[in-house]
Structure 1
Amino acid sequence: METILSPPLPFTFEEGMLDSSGRLCDNWEKWKKGFKIYFCACELEKKSASIQMNILLHVIGEQCREIIDQSTERINNLDGVFKKLDDHFKIKKNVTVERHKFFTRSQKENESIEQYVLDLKKLAQTCEFGILNEDLIKDRLVCGLHSSTIRERLLREDDLTLNKAMDICRAVIVSRVYSDNIKQEKDMICDISDQSKAAVKMMKLDRPGYRSGEHVRRCRR
């Protein structure tokens, strides 16, 4: 029994607009991922290549069909359709803009180290850093940290790698949390001690003969 699943909506975009931010390419990648999920869920791999392609062309929408029709090469399978559209949309991505977004991304207040690095990795995917990818993520982590204390700790480290930087960040944060807990416990003990002293003083004041200086006179006798 075949799975009944609604296909993704047609992929649409504003024609004639230069997408320097790369948003068009990102949207295309998301649509393509959604279609592949639909493709697998409906077991379309069991269909012939011709049926698969016609389903894709039907679902993808008129704008994309026009791009395919303009191709001078014969396209007769899914891979050919995706390659044509990949080339069309990805050419509009501005690598300089992508790198600017990466190098200006700093850790937000209350954002965890893990979430910050995860976002840096996502941004780096479109920056074409090549073999420098991990080193540049590590460098941006150091430069963009919200905590100057952690940054200074990382800068003292020789041969720093991304994994090593992450381990140090976690260790510093755990140590800081532990210190804060110790301080809170000490403050709590001090408060209890102050309250105890105040209670003892009140008990003394409530004893007979202690008020109005009578205890002083008795001591002098």
Structure 2
Amino acid sequence: LNSIGPSTYDLLSTLSSPRIISEMTYDEVTQLLENYYPKQNDIIEQHKLLSRVQKPDESISEYVTTLKRQASSCKLTCSACKAPVSDLFLRAQFIRGIHDSTIREHLLQQKDLTSDLA
């Protein structure tokens, strides 16, 4: 509680009222904050990933980095086996969103293209 800052402390005081924060357990304080802040919407995060295309002034490595960062915030798992499928989505979106059609065509001709983009 000493390092959360005055604005977060004020928020917690309001959320916990009439209880006193210093008398609450760590789990109780954490639960207050989890209930207050909105939960991540996985569908929105997946939509952001699948909508992301390379910007005209963006290098391929910057584009890949942005895609990987976006994919890391998505829950992309197979509903049947629970295995991560984020690499498949990354590879597909990378190819779909790249501006250079020559590079895209070259990538599409690869039969064993891995999802290791960088």
Q: What TM-score does the superposition give when structure 1 sets the normalisation length?
A: 0.42
Identical pairs, percent = 29
Q: Does 1:149 align with 2:97?
A: no
Counterpart of 2:43, as a letter, is: T
Q: Which residue of 2 aligns with 1:128?
A: 75
- Structure 1 residues 61 and 110, CA gap change in structure 2 (3 angstroms): same
Question: Going by fraction, where is helix more abundant, 1 or 2?
Answer: 1
1: CA distance, partners of 2:107 / 2:63 = 16
Between the two proteins, the alignment pairs up a number of residues equal to: 108
* Equivalence map 1:107-122=2 (5 Å): 107-122=54-69
Q: What TM-score does the superposition give when structure 2 sets the normalisation length?
A: 0.72
- Structure 1 residues 112 and 66, CA gap change in structure 2 (3 angstroms): same
- Structure 1 residues 140 and 76, CA gap change in structure 2 (3 angstroms): same
* Equivalence map 1:1-221=2 (5 Å): 53=1, 55-56=2-3, 59=6, 60-69=8-17, 75-77=24-26, 81-82=29-30, 84-91=32-39, 93-130=40-77, 131-163=84-116, 165-166=117-118
Native 8 Å contact 1:145 1:151 kept in 2? yes
2: CA distance, partners of 1:132 / 1:100 = 15
2: CA distance, partners of 1:58 / 1:66 = 14
Native 8 Å contact 1:101 1:123 kept in 2? yes
Native 8 Å contact 1:120 1:137 kept in 2? yes
- Structure 1 residues 61 and 160, CA gap change in structure 2 (3 angstroms): same
Structure possessing the higher radius of gyration over alpha carbons: 1
Q: Deviations over 1:67-113 (max 9, x none)?
A: 34489xx8423x6534542453242x322222111111100112111
Q: 5+ unaligned residues in a row in structure 2: which ranges? A: 78-83
- Structure 1 residues 106 and 61, CA gap change in structure 2 (3 angstroms): same
Q: Secondary structure at the match of 1:128?
A: coil
Q: Secondary structure at the match of 2:85?
A: helix
Once structures 1 and 2 are overlaid, which stretch shifts more, 145-154 or 122-131?
Answer: 122-131
2: CA distance, partners of 1:149 / 1:120 = 20
Counterpart of 2:75, as a letter, is: E
Relative contact order, higher structure (CA 8 A, sep 6+): 2
